Amino acid sequence: MIEVNKLTKIYKLSKNEMVRRKTKKNTKCAASDITFTAKPGEIYGLLGPNGAGKTTTLRCIATLLTPTEGDVKVCGFDTVTQGKEVRESICFLTNEIKLDPFFTPRYLFDFFGHLHGLSEEQIVSRRNELFTYFGIDAFEDKKIEELSTGMKQKAAIAVSLVQDPKVVVFDEPTSGLDVITAKSVTDFLGKLKEEGKTIIISTHIMSEAEKLCDKIGIIIDGKLVIEGKIQEILEKTGANDLEDAFFVLYRDNHKEEE
Ligand SMILES: Nc1ncnc2c1ncn2[C@@H]1O[C@H](COP(=O)(O)OP(=O)(O)O)[C@@H](O)[C@H]1O
Ligand SMILES: [Mg+2]
């Protein structure tokens, strides 16, 4: 279970950032009063354009950022005061954190397995399962830098899942992948859902969200402008599909920055 309660995250901007953003304000509110719950056996999709606040929200869930206001609970644990407990039950995948190019998938998998306190046996059985599923076994002793983009991402996913986490947080998991690789990733998320995991992903690909997610929250300019099952979102917006719904919401909610 992930419970996000009135989450607000405000970044301080450096002088350089203010110049780059052409703004006189020295703060940026990346997430504003966001509330939602993602439940076990459910895939929750955070949908929004670039800069909407998806990664910020996911980083707060993953204990990598401290909320400015509000709080986040993962499996009942507070991400600020019980960060250790949260990190034990969660995995976080993001494009911003890359696997070290000089190591091999097998080395990294085992390294993180040990870090999570798994036994040698547990690591080997988990590695066999995940590497076989993602077809990494043939590449497990090649350096990450020698792998294709798709294989790198699949290795990153396998490594992130080493400790069989209850809660899976994937930031744009299929971004930059070809359709076949993307499908193996989304199929795997479906499998995790069947196992009763709580899954949250961010994406800007509407069709992916429509197919994969049980519930969707659309974020625009740091605000969660709508939330619910796809059918509910279509009913509320009077749209025929998620893409249309998104455009309606964007038109009504997006403001250009001063
Ligand atoms: N460390 C930071 N300092 C200042 N602003 C940031 C920082 N990280 C993100 N932002 C800004 O916050 C907003 C939301 O970013 P982000 O959460 O990465 O959005 P998304 O993942 O939806 O593309 C953007 O305007 C981004 O430029
Ligand atoms: Mg992002």
Q: Which stretches in the chain have pLDDT values below 70?
A: 257-258
CA atoms within 13 Å, Cβ hemisphere of 77: 19
CATH code of 198's domain: 3.40.50.300
pTM, whole model, 2 decimals? 0.94
- If you measure from the C-alpha of residue 97 to the centroid of ligand 1, how many angstroms do you get, rounded to a whole number? 15
Question: Looking at ligand 1, which residue's alpha carbon is closest to its atom 4?
Answer: 11
Domain of residue 51, residue span = 2-253
Q: What is the pLDDT of residue 258?
A: 54
Residue 188 lies in a domain: yes
Q: What is the pLDDT of residue 175?
A: 87
Instruction: Read off the DSSP letter of residue 106.
Output: H
Residue 65 lies in a domain: yes
Q: What is the pLDDT of residue 96?
A: 75
Over residues 216-240, the pLDDT tens digits come to: 999 999 999 999 999 999 999 999 9
Residue 249 lies in a domain: yes
Residue 258 lies in a domain: no
CB 177 within 8 A of CB 149: yes
Cα gap 257→254, rounded to integer Å: 9
Residue 246 lies in a domain: yes
How remote is the C-alpha of 104 from its chain's centroid?
24
Residue 179 lies in a domain: yes
Q: What is the pLDDT of residue 9?
A: 98
- If you measure from the C-alpha of residue 201 to the centroid of ligand 2, how many angstroms do you get, rounded to a whole number? 11
Q: Enumerate residues lining ligand 1, CB below 6 A.
A: 11, 13, 17, 28, 30, 48, 50-56
Question: Looking at ligand 1, which residue's alpha carbon is closest to its atom 3?
Answer: 11
> Helices 105-115 & 149-160, crossing angle to 10 degrees?
20
Cα gap 212→40, rounded to integer Å: 15
% of the chain exceeding 90 in pLDDT:
86
Cα gap 87→167, rounded to integer Å: 10
Q: Strands, E, within 48-186: which ranges? A: 69-74, 77-78, 90-93, 167-171
Q: Give residues whose Cβ lies within 5 Å of ion ligand 2.
A: 54-55
Q: How many domains does the chain have?
A: 1
Question: Looking at ligand 1, which residue's alpha carbon is closest to its atom 18?
Answer: 55
